[in-house]
């Protein structure tokens, strides 16, 4: 069986994205699945564990948004002062709370939201990558099924010719060479039928495995290849830029790197710790104490290194997004031009065959 190899993963994702956006999948339940590519795609989205894993990863990233940009847990302070053999001189009960200033909470929420978007697009890319494999596997199954039908028809015709020759010449030695030749051709056609049937079984097993069913589960007879909607190269590239989840993932990673860089820049500005205590002194009126503290940013070389690293990560994210866009444009152009060239050669062969 020919596996979907030789096609780059990103190009497959871009092409499958275009198919999905142009033709939504129909998820109707049937007794036997596999008649259309839409039916197996719908099953894969429902049964394949890869889709469930991508959904759970996205849920985990979304839940992290609730933990970002919030106050840390306060510290409860219980103190006993002037403790000696006579007892406790003072009791203090208080609370301390660390507070981040300079808009750090908002940046943390932005980072968490961008990470959630990245997880969403990563999951979408995973699903579309799976759908691309399912479409390719269904194409192989469809081609194997049609190849079996063609080889069976060829064998039927050779058997008919062999039967005609035998009825015409019988067992005489006249023109037995034609009978022997027909017998050889019929045997070759029968071997081709067996070979094609052997290719159909692994194609069906691979398709079942991709959509999350037992490999030997029965599949419906395919209805044939669907017509491809004509679309220009510029339209395909524009569609890939707007709908390809890999590009959206790169954009989300870039959006996450930007507030991370801004948050790193704010490391030079310290956070503040605020506190309040209730003081009890025997024989005197209770009092209240307030405090405020902050860390002194003495180790600037560490913060400088963090700032440079964050800036480099931001630049790398921007460069990767642009490189990915150019790569997808090039792969789509290469794939489309190859298809057009193959179509042209097929048409030339058809015309040449018709003229003989």
CA–CA dist 61, 250 (Å, integer) = 16
* pTM across the whole model: 0.56
| Other beta carbons less than 10 A from residue 339's beta carbon | 11
Tokens 């908002």 -> residue:
106
Strands 87-99 and 75-84: antiparallel
What topology is assigned to 9-355 in CATH?
A: Outer membrane efflux proteins (OEP) (1.20.1600)
Contact 17, 128 (CB under 8 A): yes
Cα-based distances in Å from 76 to 73, 98, 323: 9, 12, 52
Which residues make Cβ contacts (< 8 Å) with residue 105, sequence separation at least 6?
Answer: 69, 70
What does the pLDDT profile of the chain (356 residues) look like in tens digits? 434 434 344 444 444 444 443 343 333 444 567 677 787 888 877 777 888 888 888 888 787 777 777 788 888 988 888 777 777 778 888 998 888 888 888 888 888 888 888 887 877 777 878 888 888 888 888 888 888 888 888 888 888 877 887 777 665 555 577 777 777 887 888 888 888 878 788 888 888 888 777 878 877 777 766 666 666 667 766 766 666 777 777 777 787 888 888 888 888 888 888 899 988 888 788 888 888 888 877 777 777 787 788 888 888 888 888 887 888 778 777 777 777 777 777 777 667 654 44
- Residue spans of the domains in the chain: they are 9-355
Cα–Cα distance list, 290 to 8, 95, 276 (Å): 64, 10, 4
Distance CA 168, CA 185 (A): 18
d(CA 212, CA 139): 17
């Amino acid at each position: 069986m020919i596996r979907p190899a030789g096609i780059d993963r990103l190009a497959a994702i871009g092409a499958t994205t275009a198919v999905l956006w142009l033709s939504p999948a129909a998820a109707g339940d049937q007794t036997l699945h596999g008649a259309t590519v839409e039916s197996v795609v719908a099953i894969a989205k429902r049964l394949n564990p890869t889709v469930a894993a991508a959904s759970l990863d996205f849920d985990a990233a979304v839940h992290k948004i609730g933990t970002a940009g919030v106050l840390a847990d306060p510290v409860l302070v219980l103190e006993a002062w002037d403790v000696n053999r006579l007892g406790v001189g003072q009791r203090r009960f208080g609370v301390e709370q660390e507070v981040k200033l300079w808009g750090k909470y908002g940046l943390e929420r932005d980072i968490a939201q961008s990470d959630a978007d990245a997880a969403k697009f990563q999951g979408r890319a995973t699903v579309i990558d799976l759908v691309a494999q399912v479409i390719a596997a269904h194409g192989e199954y469809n081609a194997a099924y049609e190849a079996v039908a063609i080889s069976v028809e060829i064998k039927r015709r050779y058997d008919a010719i062999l039967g005609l020759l035998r009825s015409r010449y019988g067992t005489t030695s006249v023109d037995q060479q034609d009978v022997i030749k027909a017998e050889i051709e019929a045997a070759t056609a029968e071997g081709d039928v067996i070979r094609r049937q052997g290719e159909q079984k692994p194609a069906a097993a691979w398709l079942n495995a991709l959509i999350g069913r037992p490999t030997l589960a029965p599949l419906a007879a395919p209805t044939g290849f669907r017509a491809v909607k004509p679309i220009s190269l510029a339209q395909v590239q524009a569609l890939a830029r707007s709908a390809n989840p890999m590009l959206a993932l790169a954009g989300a990673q870039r959006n996450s790197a930007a507030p991370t860089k801004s948050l790193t820049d704010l490391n030079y500005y310290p956070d503040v710790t605020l506190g309040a205590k209730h003081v009890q002194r025997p024989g005197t009126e209770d009092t209240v104490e307030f405090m405020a503290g902050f860390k002194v940013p003495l180790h600037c070389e560490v913060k400088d290194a963090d700032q440079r690293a964050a800036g480099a990560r931001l630049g790398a994210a921007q460069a990767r997004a642009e490189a990915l866009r150019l790569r997808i444009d090039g792969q789509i152009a290469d794939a489309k031009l190859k298809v057009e060239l193959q179509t042209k050669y097929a048409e030339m062969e058809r015309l040449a065959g018709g003229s003989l």
